[in-house]
Amino acid sequence: MRKPILAGNWKMNQTPAEAIEFVRALRPRLAQYLPQVETVVCPPFVCLPAVADALAGVKIGVGAQNMHWAEGGAYTGEVSAAMLKGLAGYVIIGHSERRQYFAETDGSVNKKIVAALAHGLVPIVCVGEDLAQNEAGVTETFVSGQVRAAFAGISADQARGVVVAYEPIWAIGTGKTATSEVANRVCGLVVRGALAEIYGEEVAQAIRIQYGGSANEKNIAELMAMPDIDGALIGGASLKVDAFVEMVRAAAEHR
């Protein structure tokens, strides 16, 4: 049984002061669902110390939204996995906004996953096609190619601990969600299918795959009811306490 995992990707939102207030409001309301649903918040880097502190002793995970693959050195503006340790247990890698605006490639994504795993961070690896690719009917080849590239050189044992987020770019922040059937098909046949080809069926069945892209409190139950969708990576709706709590509640109920 794969434990459901919901992660809030705050993107470039919330100051440290706002973040503290937000997680303080979240904390008591999520407590009852945490045994059933692994729940993670991913604030901006500068909020990590405050959020880690506000959530000390609580089983709500904290994630970063990015990291650099190098141990350290002359990389102005970057943050290493070693720096995240103690503040974050998870790290989003290869989000489509990073690929689109910050020139991340399959190669840099792979290096980041290797570094995150070496430091004991759980990578949440994002894949997904854009609208043109979707309309051209190349979703399957493109997404399975991203999965293969992301996992290059990762052992089967390490792969079990990686979370993959399938996020069709055309659904991110647009209010357009992939139908639960389409999302399930890509998560299952394409992402899990590619993982099965690399690692075999048993390992592929152990890896958790999230859906992301306009997931909200209204569609989460239907998404979570799908057999190959193990959770969600949530942008906009994760910035509202009520919506995020309702999503975690629904995930606890529907899986």
215 binds ligand PGA (CB under 6 A): yes
Of 31-39, 52-60, 67-75, 206-214, the window that binds ligand PGA (rule: CB under 6 A) is 206-214
Burial grade of 227 (CB within 10 A; 0-12, 13-18, 19 or more): exposed
Point out the catalytic residue in the list 38, 95, 97, 129.
95
Assigned token pair, 47 = 């909020």
Nearest residue (CB) to ligand PGA, 203 versus 239: 239
94 binds ligand PGA (CB under 6 A): no
Is 192 within 8 Å of 151 (Cβ atoms)?
Answer: no
With CB under 6 A, what is the number of residues at the site for ligand PGA? Answer: 13
CB of 101 to ligand PGA, least distance (A): 12
- Pattern 141-180, binding to ligand PGA, x per CB under 6 A? --------------------------x----xx-------
CB of 46 to ligand PGA, least distance (A): 19
Nearest residue (CB) to ligand PGA, 123 versus 236: 236
Active site residue 167: yes
Nearest residue (CB) to ligand PGA, 9 versus 134: 9
Nearest residue (CB) to ligand PGA, 97 versus 199: 97
Nearest residue (CB) to ligand PGA, 51 versus 172: 172
Report d(CA 112, CA 118) in Å as an integer. Answer: 10
CB of 40 to ligand PGA, least distance (A): 12
Kindly report the CA angle at 37 between 34 and 42, in degrees rounded to 5? 85
Please select the residue that binds ligand PGA; options are 214, 228, 245, 252, rule is CB under 6 A.
214
Is 143 within 8 Å of 191 (Cβ atoms)?
Answer: yes
Question: What are the phi and psi torsion angles at 48 (to 5°)?
Answer: -60, -45
Q: In the complex, which residue's CB is closest to ligand PGA? A: 235
Please select the residue that binds ligand PGA; options are 5, 6, 9, 219, rule is CB under 6 A.
9
212 binds ligand PGA (CB under 6 A): yes
Q: Please enumerate in sequence order all residues whose Cβ is within 8 A of that of 153, keeping only pairs 6 or more positions apart, or say none.
A: 110, 114
Please select the residue that binds ligand PGA; options are 143, 150, 233, 250, rule is CB under 6 A.
233
Catalytic annotation, residues: 95, 167
Residues interacting with ligand PGA, by CB under 6 A?
9, 167, 172-173, 212-215, 233-237
